[in-house]
Amino acid sequence: MRIDGMAAVVTGGASGLGNATAKALAEAGAKVTIFDLNEEAGKAKAAEIGARFVSVNVSDDVSVAAGLAASQEAHGVARILVNCAGVAPAVKTVGKDNVPHPLDIFAKTIGVNLIGTFNLISKFAALLAAADEIEGERGVIVNTASVAAFDGQIGQAAYSASKGGVVGMTLPIARDLAQHKIRVMTVAPGIFLTPMLESFPQNVQDALGAQVPHPNRLGKPAEYAQLVQSIILNPMLNGEVIRLDGAIRMAPR
């Protein structure tokens, strides 16, 4: 699937990996729509790259349907979907004073990271299935998991469960959508320099980067975006999860 001239939707596009991806796709000629709940940042980032911004709650049926309709009205049927929206709480299964993990935090994490991703996939694919083929395919979906799906750390029960779900549904959804000639891939990033990590002191950032075997540093959001572009352009990449992590395997803490 070519990028130039294609309509693309990027969730979580107001910051971090999503913003880097939205920027890279726009620079490659895509007509990008950013979905995010942060309206101030979303509108600003969209203006910077010539994209459209729509406030969307990925875990809400009505919000996602409205967002996709707005994107299609502006740019035509979207051929590219990149799911980057997510939350990452750090809560132990049993916390201080033997307090159990709050169920609402667990449910919200699953709701945004896993159900939200599926919500976008199913509605996006339903619209795309009716579109004409372009060079033998209709479009590409790229999801964001995490190495936490495989190497979950202390306090990551909810996050790892949500990302493990994204990993687990990649192949069956790719098989489901093969009849519609829509590819589905997932990227599992390691430790990347996102806004959350940028808020840490430099010595903490350096210590985290030192855990990565090679390159011995934190990942750059642009490197995630580069992989997304490669996935879109290569028609044989389908139904797979790619770790983008510099060979790191996370320790318990």
**Residues with catalytic function:** 159
Give the C-alpha separation, 121 to 73, whole Å.
19
| Cα-based distances in Å from 78 to 75, 90, 108, 125, 242 | 7, 34, 28, 9, 23
Give the C-alpha separation, 201 to 42, whole Å.
26
Interacting residues of 197 by C-beta distance below 8 A, sequence separation 6+: 191, 205, 208, 218
| Cα-based distances in Å from 181 to 122, 128, 147, 187, 239 | 14, 10, 28, 20, 12
For residues 22 and 51, the answer to whether their CB atoms sit within 8 Å is yes
Phi-psi region of 184 (alpha: psi -120 to 50; beta: other; left: phi over 0): beta
